[in-house]
Structure 1
């Protein structure tokens, strides 16, 4: 599961590697569930779900909110989606069945490594440039204010046998990894059919990735005295993900 990553936010990198113009809106240095970050869809996908070509960047909340969600809290549990059950689970099935495919541009993905007996945050990168992670997206309408909010999630696959990703997460837990797309597959993913979508749900080659320890900086004394502040590189004090059947 990937609850923390560094988004691609520089205009030149979004244009050079993803062919999109940087969308308006501030984004954090690192993204956690509930934070806002760029993601990429087909042009005019908001109105025309069958448009086949091109890309457009949007800013939305990390954590998919289905139309029936009453508030933002659900997004703290829906930032990752198991690709094997995406078409069935209540939180994701509408986005999957309506082909709301997206790409999440990431400079680094962060995962906990327990090889020393304690969790150490590691950064995973694509050697040849930023990563494009396959995801799902939706447009949530706040029932209280009628405000429209784009939201998104990363799709994941099993990684028990992956040479790199099998090193992460607690011993005994299933190993999962985000679906990292090859750049030449970006357009094919955004325009694929329901029958074609499962063919993209595969592990990314370990030899094309690099990883190293990247611990979070320690909290400062001032930050500990002000727990309600919104730091740029550390998540809010949120409950951890729950492996509930509704969200798995």
Structure 2
């Protein structure tokens, strides 16, 4: 499960890697459930055939999918991750899954707790080449009681019990999960895939292409400078 991540906040990097612009205001860099940050979806005019129209657009959305029937936005605290094994049936996600409301969440790194020492050790996980990650997700639109239109999103997760890196996180009795990281060459494919094609993208990212760091690692590196 991923409840905390670092969003891509560099405007030039977001444009270069994802082909979109950072939302004008309100996008958080350190993101937790219920926070607003950047989410990318297929542009609503992408199918009009106008070459001048971008294929993707970046929006400000809540981390934690808010289904159209929700009475308030508090549900986002429980819907930030969607299990791919049950996403088609869960009331919170099934409409977005059926309609293939696919999105990409631009992530620089994400954080998971390592419990192998007996205490939770926050661990930062990133790509070994420090490139941004495009995480597969679903988006939705919710109308608040005050009439405000709110976009929201969730990250898709898969089982990671056998993943040589991700199996190290969370408590030993807990099932191991990992977010779905998309190959950049398949970003557009994911955004335009229909529901029946969604499963083709739900693959584990290779462990040897990920790296980890802890707060102690950062302190050790700083100490070497003095």
- TM-score over 0.5 for the alignment? yes
Cα deviation for residue 28 of structure 1 reads 2.5
Q: Distance in 1 between matches of 2:160 and 2:22?
A: 32
The aligned counterpart of 2:221 is none
The aligned counterpart of 2:95 is 94
The aligned counterpart of 2:213 is 212
Q: What is the CA deviation profile of residues 196-241 of structure 1, one whole-angstrom value per residue up to 9, with x for unaligned ones?
A: 11011111111111111147xxxxxxxxxxxxxxxxxxxxxxxxxx
Q: Distance in 2 between matches of 1:96 and 1:119?
A: 33
**Contact 2:137–2:153 (8 Å) recurs in 1:** yes
Q: What is the CA deviation profile of residues 130-154 of structure 1, one whole-angstrom value per residue up to 9, with x for unaligned ones?
A: 1010000001100x21100000000
**Contact 2:8–2:29 (8 Å) recurs in 1:** no
Q: Distance in 1 between matches of 2:149 and 2:9?
A: 22
Q: Distance in 1 between matches of 2:98 and 2:24?
A: 29
Cα deviation for residue 21 of structure 1 reads 1.4
Q: Distance in 2 between matches of 1:123 and 1:185?
A: 25
Q: Distance in 1 between matches of 2:193 and 2:215?
A: 35
The aligned counterpart of 1:65 is 66
The aligned counterpart of 1:126 is 127
Q: What is the CA deviation profile of residues 32-84 of structure 1, one whole-angstrom value per residue up to 9, with x for unaligned ones?
A: 00100001000117x97xx9x82111111000000000001101000000011
The aligned counterpart of 1:243 is none
Q: Distance in 2 between matches of 1:160 and 1:103?
A: 24
The aligned counterpart of 1:183 is 184
The aligned counterpart of 1:140 is 142
The aligned counterpart of 2:223 is none
Number of residue pairs matched by the alignment: 210
Runs of 4+ in 1 over 3 A off after TM superposition: none
Cα deviation for residue 29 of structure 1 reads 3.0
Q: Distance in 1 between matches of 2:28 and 2:105?
A: 15
Q: What SS class does the counterpart of residue 85 from structure 1 fall into?
A: coil
The aligned counterpart of 1:222 is none
The aligned counterpart of 1:9 is 9
TM-score by length of 2: 0.89
Cα deviation for residue 26 of structure 1 reads 2.1
Structure 1 residue 163 corresponds to structure 2 residue 164: yes
The aligned counterpart of 1:235 is none
The aligned counterpart of 2:42 is 42
Q: What is the CA deviation profile of residues 153-182 of structure 1, one whole-angstrom value per residue up to 9, with x for unaligned ones?
A: 000000000011000001111000000111
User: Greater helix share, 1 or 2?
Assistant: 2
Can you give the 5+ residue segments of structure 1 that lack an aligned partner in the other structure?
A: 216-248
What is the root-mean-square deviation of aligned Cα atoms in Å?
1.7
Can you give the 5+ residue segments of structure 2 that lack an aligned partner in the other structure?
A: 217-226
